[in-house]
Structure 1
Amino acid sequence: MHHGQIKATPVVGLVGNPNSGKSSLFNVLTGLRQRIGNFPGVTVEKKAGMLKLPGLPTVELVDFPGAYSCYPTSLDERLVVQELTNPEGELFPDAILYVADITKLDKHLLLFTQLRDLDLPMILVLNMADLMDSDGLTVDIPRLSKKLGVPVVPVSSRDHRGIGELKEVIAGLLREPDAFRPRQPFYEPGANARDVLAELRRELPARNDYHALLLTHHAPWLKHIPETTRHHIQEARVRHGFHSLRAQVEETMDRYNSFEPIVRDTVRHAGDTDSLSDRIDNVVTHPIAGPILFIVLMLLLFQALFAWASVPMDLIEWTFGTLGDTVRQTLPAGWFTDLLVDGIIAGLGGVLVFVPQIAILFFFIAILEEVGYLARAAYMFDSLMQRFGLNGRSVVALVSGHACAIPAIMSTRTIANWKERLLTILVTPLTSCSARIPVYVILISFAVPQVAYLNGLISLQGLAFAGLYFLGIAGAMLSALVFKWILNTPERSFLMLELPQYRVPVWRNVGTTVWQKSKTFVVEAGKIIMIISIVLWAASTYGPPADMAAANQLAGERAQEQGLSEDETADLVASERLEASYAGHLGKFIEPVIKPLGYDWKIGIALLTSFAAREVFVGTMATIYSIGSTDDEFRIRERLAEERNPVTNEPVYNPATAWSLLIFYVFAMMCMSTLAVTRRETNSWKWPVVQFVFMTAIAYVSAMAVYQLLT
């Protein structure tokens, strides 16, 4: 640390407990100059941003995940310890902004004193300074600063108080990292630990005793410790009877004893004010009222996703439709125009049409998070979810999966335990997303008679609709249970949550969240949807030349025999060409596999194309059944009802086939953007493949069972 010159890009780390207001401060300091990536080697999200300080090179500000102490219970916390104990690492900070909630200083100083003993240059940032006035807190800043041996800056990310001063202090600390150093450590290792350290101190790449102690504790999983050193540490621990867990507990107690008096001495409360938060919590986390309130909130969220998103979604679809028509009329007819309109513009519309739903979903989730409600929901459902191998925080993902699995999978980043996060990602797509609605609506009309009870209040079709949703949820929970047995890892998870005070949301944080998530979706999922759309277009447009020519001729002859109009002829030609195309050949090829489910080759193509996005099923049916130009749902229904099996002359869409398709669509992974997001969030191809295989298997077996039973 004793270097005179400043690095080309100094790194400043933002560290603190969860809910200390770290992210708000990060947003204030960096604005939209943020890059989101992953930390090296793990799937934990890494936020970095640029900070300009007068007279210094541009500083990189890294927002580390929230952590409670240097003895981690989650992936996020491990990451903090790993980066801060590795002076050679690219993310090792030149200075640390330690953010603590001023109202909970007595809890938030544990990690602070640990990092202080690592001898890292630090500034203590007391966040929520706006609460000092309302809660009647008084803090003796100079005295606190003297006792802790660091600069202390009160700030408020809400009204930007103290931000200017904070920037000056950061600049000062980077220029003279040695100016502030505590005279003595907060904690001295016990006799047992001292023996181990005396033996290991020579070979451990440690800067001081406490650094060496942390390396000794965490050697088994720290990535930057060489294998041989790891082995020596293990031996020394055994030889001296060093009991890691006992040492951690002792140290934690010791530290509380050293900083609690400091807090008592410098922070004064004017009467206890958190009774209001507690009174609200008595209702919100109540065993009966709590879940009811949760369900009501979620129903509102769904209503909003449907009601509010429908106008912008229709607008986007209309825009792309109009754009397609305009291009078709302006450019000369030919393959390039077709590719532009049917491949690229249709594909792009397919991506952007989900943006309103994603934005609205994250808007609500961000508000619930900011207000402090999500922590309570997680706390309420944790014990139930643990039985299924999930985590309280999985509730959020499973609920939002009903709108769209993509943002739902993205929201699993709040789950620290890797296994629980993985399980949540794997089973979330089983909840029925809104894209399945057009498919459900059409098929239920064939599967369920129109019968209503209680003067039309309850209809069988409505019940069937709700039933499909519950089937999806049941499927997700049971799959999680099975995976919990298969992926039997020793990690037990503890939900360490501090229930934060209820607060008014910081709207800038909500805005930043919505913007970042929408942007990520468009860029990441967009690329893949575009590629598939183009491939699908090509496969359905082209085919073996001889077959295509024969199809044209056959369609022409049939049109003359039947005296069809120009539009009807065009539809018939489109239908015959599709059967002769590569997609048609593929449909015929997979027909034997899907025959036991009651499907023919046309449904086969629709199953394949609807993999791009579930709604494509309806569009494909329209093309295949030579409806061609008219894309009206009721028209499709009539057309499907007329479709007969050429051999038996039975209707193709009898209740058995319709139910089989419905069940297939409940369980099948039918949307490759979801796979794309799973690939991105798990950082490997293994899990998306597992997810695809297990969902398709469930779908296939259930659909076959249903079809065979009903026939």
Structure 2
Amino acid sequence: MTEVIGSVAAAPVKTPVKNNISRIALIGNPNSGKSSLFNQLTGLNQKVGNFPGVTVDKKTGSCHLTPQHKAQIIDLPGTYSLYPKSLDEKVIIDLLYNKKSALYPDVLVITVDASNLKRNLLLYTQLADLGIPAVLGLNMTDVAETHGVKIDVGQLQQDLGVPVVPMNARNGVGITALKILVSRQLEKPAKSFYEIPEELMVLVRQIRYYFELKNDYLALHYAHQYKKLSFLSEADKSYIEDLRQKYGFDSNTLQAAETIERYTLINDLLLDSVKVTRAESNEKFSNKLDQVLTHKVWGYLIFFGVLFMMFQAIFAWATYPMDLIDTGIASLNAFIQSKFDGPLVDLLTEGVIAGLGGVLIFIPQIALLFAFIAVLEETGYMARVTFMMDKIMRKFGLNGKSIVPLISGVACAVPAVMAARNIDNWKDRMITIFVTPLMSCSARIPVYTVLIALVVPEKYYLGFLNLQGIVLMGLYLLGFLAAIFSALAMKLILKAKERSYFIMEFPVYKMPRWPNVGLTIIEKVKAFVFEAGKVIVAISVILWVMASYGPGNALEVAETKAQQEAAAKNLSEDETSSLVSSHQLESSYAGVFGRAIEPAIRPLGFDWKIGIALLTSFAAREVFVGTISTIYSVGDEENISTIKEKLLAEKDAAGNPFFTPARAFSLLIFYVFAMQCMSTLAVVYRETKSWKWPVMQLIYMSGLAYVSSYIVYQLFK
């Protein structure tokens, strides 16, 4: 641990608070260990919501500071200063500048990186001048030690005028001392660090009087940031704007001057409390590793090697638990159907439980993807990846951090959209979420396999290049190009006041904190199951009703007709059952809908049967194959060759083969671009906290799919 001189001096406190729930906000620079501290304090007692009026996550949790004192812990987004550059940072000033907020904290715990105090203390000095009771968490003391940093904690506490707690949030060192300290009612910091220029005091006092504030520095920030404070009315903002014009308030110049003055003070302050003797061997090792991992050639090769391993794992390792979930849901349905009968049982098994299965089956993929992402972040490698990719991705309106969601979309769009959480800039995040579903996911593979097998001959070039494989690769490439160029268009269309900066601090390399990795996985899985899952189950039930019921006695008539046809053809029991299902689906509300939309989809070469498949596959793209099997009475949807033969034998009204290359390619292109997955729409709603984005996605991707499919059919027919 870092060598510290002296002990923690007595903190200025009042009597302990009893039987009270206090609010404690954690705030600090990115990579200062704030999230580790949050996990140490709250464990599994966490929940994720959103700050009022914005799509930024609000992580809160509960913690027993002492047996008698329970606290609500609020994990604020990481920031370098109180002058925000992003939407995430904006929520900090919206909270800390509004005492009427339901989440206004009683105490701030300000985490700082002990190995980089100079940079971290800029934020502390700003917060101290706001006059909010605070504790300084001197974190990463082990890292500071490896860098030869020696800190006199007693002197630092005296110079800052605030309690200082040395700790290591990674392994829990110092957490108990911190809990005991914040369980007491702390005073505001004893020292201020910035003297407001005299020429600004008239403006500052007018703002103080108008808004009934008790702090000059807070009033100054109202003048700087009034446009970003959502709790101010338009009249309030106009009042401040008039004052700024009256007194010639130049915000940018004043911010720069303040920052320089604070750093000058911090330099002087640290001379007494911090001694540094650099441990060059550690720095050389880190620098050598960065030279390889961020190399313009080897860096990309290593990254794509890591991605290859990650997606191989997601495909291979997730298969077994996904099969178990699928089998378990099927067994549960079979058990219930064997014991009970009736329409309510069908609704429960084929609607609710089947829909629930459509939620649960994604859990292994989500868990694995976020396990890998959490490990990459914990080790410090993810920061290097985003640095390498940013220059390329920014040309298309994306961000270095967009590469993970985009490539994850090849496995599944659901966890991929959730992975966009790591993108700080609002505009970049929204563009990434918007275009990620255009990447061809694994659920499209059954659709691609059937249709390619129909119209693409199994030829080989150069002895090993399979023509069908080349077409499949082309479809994936088409999806990627659509995503990239859609992002470029969104960059021009989507307007945001927030400018996109890329300021990346490389954290030190370290071993992952496995409890943090586990908490990340649990948080992401819970968010998907309880938020997106509700929408998925609801739509599954609606689709089941449409496919299981029809107008009047249409289904009974269809069953009778199918049995008569089966008897005439002397079909087996299984073939008869398959034929009945086909006729009943045709007569259901889904069939009625399919016939209703046939005029709209006929220009694409589709008929009402394909219309039914398009509708039912909205539950999940791979359902297309099962629906086609039912419509054409194939009987076994797992047998691709049987489906191929049945589709090849299908004739149109003129007696010609129905599934021509024109129709097959038209349908392929439609599935490349179409938003045929309610799970993705549900998770986009969950991530953006608004129906606007999923509805826009549905309209844009459906329109792109329709136009592209129309062009392909007209060219090939």
TM-score (norm 2): 0.94
- Measured after TM superposition, the shift of residue 318 of structure 1 is 1.8
Task: Give the drift of 1:294.
Answer: 2.0
Say if 2:543 and 2:616, in contact at 8 Å, map to a contact too. yes
The 5 A counterparts of 1:242-641 are 242-271=249-278, 272=280, 273-332=282-341, 334-456=342-464, 458-628=465-635, 631-641=638-648
Give CA deviations for 1:357-404 in whole Å, capped at 9, x if unaligned: 111000001111111122222222223222222222222221222222
Matched, 1:91 2:97: no
- Contact 2:605/2:663 (<8 A) preserved: yes
Moved more, 568-577 or 50-59: 50-59
Amino acid at match of 1:376: R
Change (3 A) 1:386 1:504: same
Tell me how far 1:306 sits from its aligned partner: 0.6
Deviates more, 1:35-44 or 1:273-282: 273-282
Q: CA 1:537–1:225 in structure 2 vs 1: closer, same or farther (change >3 Å)?
A: closer
The 8 Å contact of residues 352 and 522 in structure 1, kept in 2 or not, is answered as: yes
- 1:86-235 equivalence runs, <5 A: 86-172=98-184, 174=185, 177-178=186-187, 181-183=189-191, 185-235=192-242
Secondary structure, aligned partner of 1:96: strand
1:650 aligns with 656
SS of the aligned residue for 1:153 comes to strand
Range with greater deviation from structure 2 (400-409 or 53-62): 53-62
CA distance in 2, matches of 1:637, 1:261: 78
Return the offset for 1:119: 0.8
2:35 corresponds to 1:23: yes
- How far, CA to CA, are the matches of 1:402 and 1:108 in structure 2? 39
Question: What 5-or-longer segments of structure 1 have no aligned partner?
Answer: none
Instruction: Output the amino acid matched with 2:428.
Output: E
In 1, the alpha carbon distance for the partners of 2:538 and 2:206 equals 59
Paired AA for residue 700 in structure 1: Y
CA contact (8 A) 1:192 1:242 kept: no
Which amino acid is the alignment partner of residue 650 of structure 1? N
Matched-pair contact (CA < 8 Å) for 1:56–1:171: no
**Shift of the alpha carbon at 1:55?**
6.2
Change (3 A) 1:105 1:538: same
| Structure 2: distance between partners of 1:549 and 1:504 | 64
How much does 1:234 deviate?
0.9
Cα distance in 1 for residues equivalent to 2:143 and 2:388: 27
- Please give the secondary structure, in 2, of the residue aligned with 1:202: helix
Give 2:677's aligned amino acid. Answer: C
Check conservation: 1:529, 1:673, Cα contact below 8 A. Answer: yes
Q: Distance in 2 between matches of 1:529 and 1:549?
A: 30
Aligned partner letter, 2:377: E
Aligned position for 2:702:
696
Moved more, 136-145 or 543-552: 543-552
Secondary structure class of the residue paired with 1:62: strand
Conserved in 2, the CA contact under 8 Å of 1:44 and 1:413?
A: no
Aligned residues of 2:87 and 2:498 also touching (Cα < 8 A): no
Q: Summarize deviations over 1:540-596 as a string: whole Å, max 9, x none.
A: 121123433332332232222222222222222221111111111111111111111
| Residue identity opposite 2:581 in structure 1 | A
Q: Which runs of 5+ in 2 are unaligned?
A: 1-11
3-state SS in 2 of match to 1:10: strand
Q: Distance in 2 between the 1:186 and 1:600 partners?
A: 74
- The offset of 1:225, in angstroms, is 2.4
| Distance of 2:686 and 2:406 partners within structure 1 | 19
1:629 offset after TM fit, Å? Answer: 5.8
Task: Note the C-alpha offset of 1:499.
Answer: 1.2
Give the C-alpha shift of residue 3 in structure 1. Answer: 10
Q: Percent identity?
A: 48
The Cα shift of 1:108 comes to 0.8
User: Which residue identity lines up with residue 319 of structure 2 in the other structure?
Assistant: S
Question: Is the CA contact 1:571–1:629 (under 8 Å) kept in the aligned structure 2?
Answer: no
Q: In structure 2, what is the Cα distance between the partners aligned to 1:433 and 1:450?
A: 23
CA deviations over 1:616-669 (Å, ceiling 9, x no partner): 111111221223466433332332222222x12222222222211111111100
**Partners of 1:415 and 1:205 in 2: how far apart?**
37
Find out whether 1:45 has 2:44 as its counterpart. no
Q: Which whole-Å CA distance do the structure 2 matches of 1:87 and 1:463 have between them? A: 62
Contact 1:12 1:96 in 2 (8 A): yes
Q: Is residue 86–residue 498 contact of structure 2 (8 Å, CA) maintained in 1?
A: no
Q: Distance in 1 between matches of 2:715 and 2:38?
A: 59
* Aligned equivalents of 1:207, 1:276: Cα separation in 2: 50
Query: The residue matched to 2:387 in structure 1 has which SS?
Result: helix
Deviation at 1:210, TM superposition (A): 0.7
Deviations 1:233-252 (A, max 9, x none): 11121122111011111111
CA 1:638–1:319: 2 relative to 1, 3 Å? farther
Q: Structure 1 residues 421-430 or 522-531, which shifts more?
A: 522-531
C-alpha spacing 1:13/1:444, structure 2 compared with 1 (3 Å): same
Q: Is the 8 A contact 2:205 2:219 kept in 1?
A: no
Kept after mapping to 1: 8 A contact 2:532/2:686: no
| Alpha-carbon distance between aligned partners in 1 of 2:344 and 2:495, rounded to the nearest angstrom | 53
Is this contact kept in 1: 2:150–2:274, CA < 8 A?
yes
> Match of 2:194, SS?
coil
Equivalent position of 2:6 in the other structure: none
Contact 2:365 2:415 in 1 (8 A): no
SS of the residue 2:690 aligns to? coil
**Partners of 2:405 and 2:416 within 8 A in 1:** yes
Q: Per-residue deviation at 1:128?
A: 1.4
SS of corresponding position for 2:25: strand
Cα deviation, residue 490, structure 1: 4.1
- Is the partner of 1:73 in helix, strand or coil? coil
SS at 2:354's partner residue? Answer: helix
The question of whether the paired residues in 1 share the 8 Å contact of 2:385 and 2:400 is answered with: yes
Per-residue CA distance 1:133-183 (angstroms, 9 max, x = gap): 4444321110111101111111112221111111111123x2xx22x6324
CA distance in 2: counterparts of 1:657 and 1:388, whole angstroms: 33
Q: Letter of the aligned partner of 1:66 in structure 2?
A: G
- Residue 5 of structure 1: how far off its partner (Å): 9.3
Q: Which residue identity lines up with residue 64 of structure 1 in the other structure?
A: L
> In 1, are the aligned partners of 2:670 and 2:706 still within 8 Å (CA)?
yes
Q: Deviations over 1:522-557 (max 9, x none)?
A: 222222222222222221121123433332332232
How big is the shift at 1:437?
A: 1.5
Residue identity opposite 1:284 in structure 2: L
**1:195 Cα deviation after fit:** 4.0
Write the letter of the residue equivalent to 2:69.
P
Name the count of aligned residue pairs.
703
Moved more, 413-422 or 143-152: 413-422
| Partner amino acid, structure 1, of 2:672 | V
Taking the aligned partners of 2:312 and 2:174, their CA distance within structure 1 comes to 41
Distance 1:541 1:98 in 2: 58
CA 466–627 in structure 1, closer or farther in 2 if over 3 Å, else same: same
Deviation larger for 417-426 or 502-511: 417-426
